[in-house]
Amino acid sequence: MLEWDITRVIFSITDDTSMDDSRFGGLDALTNGFIARYNNEISNNLFNVKTNGEMRSHMFDVAYALRAPSGFYGVSGRKTFSGREKHGVTKRLKAIKGDELIALIQDDLTGLATFTLIGQGHVVEH
């Protein structure tokens, strides 16, 4: 049986507009929000955020990057599940049950240069 342990999610946003905690990337605050969730027989919301500041309240190491001379502004962060000083335990997903890690985007993000969300972890050895 194929299973994965998701140990963290990492996000990164770039834009040509400066960013702060009141915005989502370089956009105005979102109306409906961005939801990260996992589904392992039941739907479990990890967070719903509308601003960079709300992202900071749910994650570790949220940081802003200044614009490079010919580049973009940026914001990035990570939410780690496994570890005593983190957010609990890994999130186990089972292929046979159709479990999944979900990014639900409820607003138009096309104004951003990039938006990336990555789930990281490992295959469970039996």
Q: Give the DSSP H or E segment for 91.
A: strand 91-94
- What is the three-class DSSP state of 54? helix
Mean pLDDT over each residue of the chain, to the nearest integer: 88
Integer Cα distance of 51 and 21 in angstroms: 6
The closest alpha carbon to 78, from 40, 114, 121, belongs to 121
Q: State pLDDT tens for residues 63-92.
A: 999 988 889 999 999 988 876 666 667 777
Residue 94: pLDDT band by 50, 70, 90 thresholds?
confident
Q: What's the whole-model pTM score?
A: 0.86
Position 80 scores a pLDDT of 85
CA of 4: how far to CAs of 12, 73, 112, in Å? 23, 33, 31
Residue with more model confidence, 112 or 36: 112
- Does 25 or 97 have the greater pLDDT score? 25
